[in-house]
Chains A and B, each alone.
Chain A
Amino acid sequence: MSQDYAEAGQLDSRLPPIFERYRYEARYLVQILREVQDALGHLPAAALSAVARALCLPRARVEGVAGFYSFFHLTPVGRYRVLFSDNITDRMLGSGELIDRLCNKLWVERGKVSEDRLVSVDTTSCTGMCDQGPALLVNGRPLTRMSAERIDRISELIRKQAPLSDWPREYFLIEDNIRRYDELLGRQWPNGEALKAAVARGREAMLAEMKLSNLRGRGGAGFTTHIKWESARRAPCAGEAPARYVVCNADEGEPGTFKDRVLLSSYADLLFDGISIAGFTIGATLGLVYLRGEYAYLLPALNENLARRRRDGLLGTRVLGEDDFNFDIEIHLGVGAYVCGEETALLESLEGKRGVPRIRPPFPATEGYLGQPTVVNNVETLCKAALIAVNGGAWFAGLGTKQSTGTKLLSISGDVETPGIYEYPFGVSVAQVLNDCGAGNAQAVQVSGPSGTCLAMHEFSRRIAFEDVPTAGAFMVFGEHRDMFEVARNFAHFFAHESCGFCTPCRVGTSLVANCMDKIASGQGSQHDINEIFKIHRLLHAASHCGLGQSACNPLFDTLNKFRPAYERRLRSLAFKPAFDLDQALASARQMTGRDDPAAHFGLAAGLPGVEA
């Protein structure tokens, strides 16, 4: 926990056991850096050099990776690192005032480490607790349902330097909040049941059932799963270590989405069955779960589950007694980077690199993890595959609509009476969902998160399905009293913060747009700024390298088209207003010279005749 471990002698004793555990393999770089940071508190320059030497990597490459992820710290951090989840739903529940309250109580400035290095208070992208916010992370552990009382108590605990184990248990309580059960959530799935069913069917037959089911990916893109599986199964393995891989995308970074968390918490047996079934079907030997860093608290239970499966003969060599079925699963942790949910960025991260999306083609099914054929599927997709193994493809195809078979988990949050997880057959109308969750006065729903679609009231008759309103699962509801401009501004900052920075349009464009929204928010915006947003939207949509940049302006585009007055009441009547404020620019000079007289001002503030607002 302390910076002092970073002193030279400590590095020699504390780091080698970590390297050993990962067999000095460079592809584990991200995992190794995580553990080094856990041991040292942060990642001092000398530690990065030590890691580079041990893994025989260029030091700059190690530093480049350490500098990419939000939860890696290259400079000393406070003993207590408090990160408030900054999704719009947290804000709607009052997180803004709570942050200020905590900062005031602890005498610390937001984003800075206190002088005694005791504490830092800052924000982080959505932590996936939108149904039980306002949420925060303390030293990586999630806390939910914050209130003024809880914040006051937390400030005392921090000042007393109480270890997290002594904090009230209920602060760490995370609930599933399952509100509507259907085929997946509706029953218990005993360990191995689905895997046994798949093995009994055999590889070809399992693939045939997948085809019959017409299952489509639940991670967002909606790609037909059996096609992925079939191409990975057919693609030749290459090089010195030929193999096939299954990767489970448990990065769940889209703000407003938390259904994978519930599946990982309470349906892990089914998920591991699903991963194993994919492995069995395509002939893979290893499954990798990429678990977002915010969900690291689930790791002990998940690892325990894997150990149990090994004991039960559901993982390891000769799984279920099958001669040609050797399969294991390992879990990798993310370190705070939404872009790593993009499947090729995820593969880069799994290989110990910066999470930058690859050039496609080639697609992962032919050249994925370590260049080998790889199936990347979302948590929910793999759970659905397990259901198909048990009940058959025809059964699955009978649920939902023709083009969107099966059921879909929705993560519902915002202005509703009962936020939580709802499982529906595809094809359910938005109005039905709103009715079920008690959204009395909704003016808008953001479906599938910031990169999805913002629906206004006149669109509530539309249906949740790939052929109408597709979704990865987020369903954020905004009541009449909400300011849709602030919703869009929150999303603009999310994308600027999460852009990987690889390509020019997204790297610069997302920041320009976020600044533009701030300018409008401060009352300095004009019609010109609106036109700029539209122009940047068109550019990002066309020229960005991955889905993040391509959809980064969607929420602005939608709200500008559907909730224009929210923008217009902030605009100046002028056609153009520069972002640069000359009087404001003089502020630092005034501060340095200790002056504040009219002659130290410019424009209106100087009181000069003839200058108007």
Chain B
Amino acid sequence: MSTQHILLDGLPVSFTDGQTIMQAAMAADIFIPHLCHHPEFKPQGSCKLCTVKANGRYVSACTMPARDGMEVENNSPDLNDKRRTMLQMLFVEGNHFCPSCEKSGRCMLQALAYELEMLTPHFPQFYPDRAVDASHPEVLLDFNRCILCELCVRASRDVDGKNVFALSGRGISKHLIVNAESGRLADTDFSLADKAAHVCPVGVILRKRRGFAVPIGSRRYDVQPIGMQVERLARRTTTEEV
């Protein structure tokens, strides 16, 4: 059934049965901005960065199955404007001081902000009070940067079989928790070898005693903007760090 196509910004893109718009686009080396999507996991559809217009309706590219003849608008001023606004929302919702963040240069949130030409956070900051968890011998959790993409939740549950992470709270108070009565990562069975230790697209789950190893200028997204790294994003695997 390789004769089925969607029209992505006017370009015919083939897809196979069951593929989403996101999967079809990535296979064709076309970038649709995304944060909660990861090729290895079940689509989640929560960050809404991948919002596209399919046959005139706004949908999430990562969850919407491709259909033959579907006309998809992706790289348009309207959509990029909406995506930029959502990035700004994510920035003000947490505490993102990029210059002092170990993930700077490798962070998908930051990379997308550059890609979509977000110049300021625009909205008033929420400045949430989120304590850092440094209890674990190998890994530091800096919740200030969590964008609630649930990749660690999915990785720990679906790959590691451990359920170390989950979400609690609701609305703007939603937050990440760990699987321990004490609330401390050290009291879970989490380990650096877990898949969940390596999926965070931002700077929450950080390996201890190693930092700022790559000089500014040679970091992942210094070398090439995220929009040109579709091939790498599409083949992210269990072993490779995001």
Binding site for B on A (CB under 8 A): 45-46, 48-49, 58-61, 63-64, 66-70, 337, 354, 359, 496-505, 507-512, 515, 535-536, 538-539, 542-545, 578-580
* Contact of B179 with A59 in the complex, beta carbons under 8 Å: yes
* Contact of A337 with B171 in the complex, beta carbons under 8 Å: no
* Contact of B124 with A579 in the complex, beta carbons under 8 Å: yes
Cβ 8 A contact of B90, one of A58, A508, A535, A538: A508
* Contact of A504 with B172 in the complex, beta carbons under 8 Å: no
Stretch at the interface among B7-15, B81-89, B194-202, B209-217: B81-89
Nearest 9 pairs between A and B by C-beta? A67-B168, A58-B163, A60-B166, A501-B174, A508-B89, A60-B179, A499-B171, A542-B58, A511-B172
Cβ 8 A contact of A515, one of B43, B60, B124: B124
Cβ 8 A contact of B46, one of A66, A502, A515, A578: A502
CA of A59 to CA of B179 in the docked complex: distance in angstroms? Answer: 6
Known contacts A503-B45, A505-B86, A510-B172; 5 additional CB pairs below 8 A are: A60-B180, A499-B172, A504-B49, A504-B90, A508-B172
Cβ 8 A contact of A505, one of B89, B123, B167: B89
Residues of B within 8 A of A63 (CB): 166, 168, 177
* Contact of B177 with A60 in the complex, beta carbons under 8 Å: yes
Residues of A within 8 A of B163 (CB): 58, 60-61
Cβ 8 A contact of B86, one of A61, A67, A502, A504: A504
CA of A423 to CA of B178 in the docked complex: distance in angstroms? Answer: 51
* Contact of B85 with A539 in the complex, beta carbons under 8 Å: yes
Residues of B within 8 A of A538 (CB): 82
Residues of A within 8 A of B43 (CB): 359
CA of A337 to CA of B174 in the docked complex: distance in angstroms? Answer: 14
Q: Does B41 contact A (CB under 8 A)?
A: no
CB distance from B178 to the nearest CB of A (A): 6
In this complex, the member of A45, A67, A354 whose beta carbon has the largest number of chain B beta carbons within 10 angstroms is A67
CA of A370 to CA of B92 in the docked complex: distance in angstroms? Answer: 37
Closest to B50 in A: A543
With contacts A63-B177, A543-B58, A579-B124 taken as known, whether A359 is within 8 angstroms of B82 at the C-beta atoms is no
* Contact of A508 with B46 in the complex, beta carbons under 8 Å: no
CA of A544 to CA of B60 in the docked complex: distance in angstroms? Answer: 10
* Contact of A512 with B174 in the complex, beta carbons under 8 Å: no
Cβ 8 A contact of A499, one of B49, B170, B180, B181: B170
CB distance from A74 to the nearest CB of B (A): 9
Within 8 A of A (CB), among B68-120: 82, 85-86, 89-90, 92-93
* Contact of B174 with A507 in the complex, beta carbons under 8 Å: yes
Q: Does B164 contact A (CB under 8 A)?
A: yes
Residues of A within 8 A of B51 (CB): 542-543
In this complex, the member of A63, A509, A579 whose beta carbon has the largest number of chain B beta carbons within 10 angstroms is A63
CA of A45 to CA of B179 in the docked complex: distance in angstroms? Answer: 12
CA of A500 to CA of B171 in the docked complex: distance in angstroms? Answer: 5
Closest to B36 in A: A504
* 20 intermolecular pairs with C-beta atoms under 8 Å apart: A58-B166, A59-B179, A60-B166, A63-B168, A63-B177, A68-B169, A337-B170, A359-B43, A359-B45, A501-B148, A502-B46, A503-B46, A505-B86, A507-B172, A508-B172, A509-B89, A511-B172, A536-B85, A543-B82, A578-B124
CA of A579 to CA of B169 in the docked complex: distance in angstroms? Answer: 26
Residues of A within 8 A of B85 (CB): 535-536, 539
CB distance from A221 to the nearest CB of B (A): 16
CA of A545 to CA of B45 in the docked complex: distance in angstroms? Answer: 8
Closest to B147 in A: A504
Q: Does B48 contact A (CB under 8 A)?
A: yes
Cβ 8 A contact of B171, one of A45, A498, A543, A578: A498
Residues of B within 8 A of A337 (CB): 170
Q: Does B63 contact A (CB under 8 A)?
A: yes
CA of A511 to CA of B169 in the docked complex: distance in angstroms? Answer: 15
CB distance from A299 to the nearest CB of B (A): 24
* Contact of A500 with B86 in the complex, beta carbons under 8 Å: no
* Contact of A58 with B179 in the complex, beta carbons under 8 Å: yes
Residues of B within 8 A of A501 (CB): 148, 169-174
Residues of B within 8 A of A499 (CB): 170-172
CA of A579 to CA of B126 in the docked complex: distance in angstroms? Answer: 11
Closest to A74 in B: B168
CB distance from A59 to the nearest CB of B (A): 5
Residues of B within 8 A of A545 (CB): 45-46, 48, 60
CA of A508 to CA of B126 in the docked complex: distance in angstroms? Answer: 10
Q: Does B47 contact A (CB under 8 A)?
A: yes
CA of A498 to CA of B172 in the docked complex: distance in angstroms? Answer: 10
Q: Does B221 contact A (CB under 8 A)?
A: no
CA of A48 to CA of B51 in the docked complex: distance in angstroms? Answer: 37
CB distance from A497 to the nearest CB of B (A): 7
Q: Does B143 contact A (CB under 8 A)?
A: no
CA of A544 to CA of B51 in the docked complex: distance in angstroms? Answer: 10
* Contact of A503 with B93 in the complex, beta carbons under 8 Å: no
